[in-house]
């Protein structure tokens, strides 16, 4: 009998939620993009909106994806201590178990959303 399991990709941004934070993040990306702390944000979003190629991939990929800001993640996963992981990060979540799929150092090396898409496809 084939096993059925729920698997999702969980993306954690190295940024806090909320409109004020989003506006500050957008300004930071414009003024000093080299020092912006969230490579995942830079890979998937332009200054004000989601990148088209990324959005198309996300909407048509065979696994569901969930996106959380760091404050939302640590609230939802209170068993994960902030000092134990480096953000941003992508997890494969199966049966509520977090398995690291792409670490921060790997995300930081990617040049664009195409490289991120290729990496996700390779690892799923």
> For the residues of 64-123, what is the DSSP string, one character each?
-EEEEEHHHHHHHTTTS-GGG--SSEEEEEETTEEEEEE-HHHHHH--SHHHHHHHHHHH
Tell me what the pLDDT averaged over the chain comes to: 84
The gap from C-alpha 24 to its chain's centroid, in whole angstroms, comes to 18
Contacts of 123 (CB under 8 A, 6+ apart): 92, 101, 102
Residue 34's pLDDT band, with cuts at 50, 70 and 90, is low
pLDDT digits (tens, 9 = 90+) for 92-104: 999 889 999 999 9
Phi, psi of 71 (to 5 degrees): -65, -40
- Would you say residue 28 has pLDDT above 70? no
Measured distance CA(91)–CA(102) in Å, rounded = 7
| Peptide bond connecting 52 to the previous residue in cis, omega within 30 degrees of 0 | no
What pLDDT, on a 0 to 100 scale, did the predictor assign at position 18? 60
pTM of the model: 0.81
Report how far residue 23's alpha carbon sits from residue 101's, in angstroms, rounded to the nearest whole number.
29
Which residues are CB-contacts of 104 (< 8 A; sequence separation ≥ 6)? Answer: 14, 39, 86, 87, 88, 89
pLDDT band at 49 (very low <50, low <70, confident <90, very high): confident
């Amino acid at each position: 009998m084939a096993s059925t399991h729920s698997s999702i990709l969980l993306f954690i941004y190295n940024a806090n939620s909320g409109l004020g934070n989003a506006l500050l993040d957008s300004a930071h990306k414009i003024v000093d993009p080299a020092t912006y702390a969230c490579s995942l944000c830079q890979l998937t979003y332009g200054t004000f909106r989601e990148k088209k190629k990324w959005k198309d991939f996300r909407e048509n990929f065979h696994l569901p994806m969930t996106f959380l800001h760091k404050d939302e993640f640590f609230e939802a996963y209170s068993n994960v201590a902030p000092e134990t992981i480096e953000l941003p990060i992508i997890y494969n979540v199966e049966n509520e178990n977090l398995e690291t799929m792409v670490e921060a150092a790997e995300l930081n090396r990617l040049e664009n959303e195409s490289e991120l898409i290729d990496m996700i496809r390779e690892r799923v």
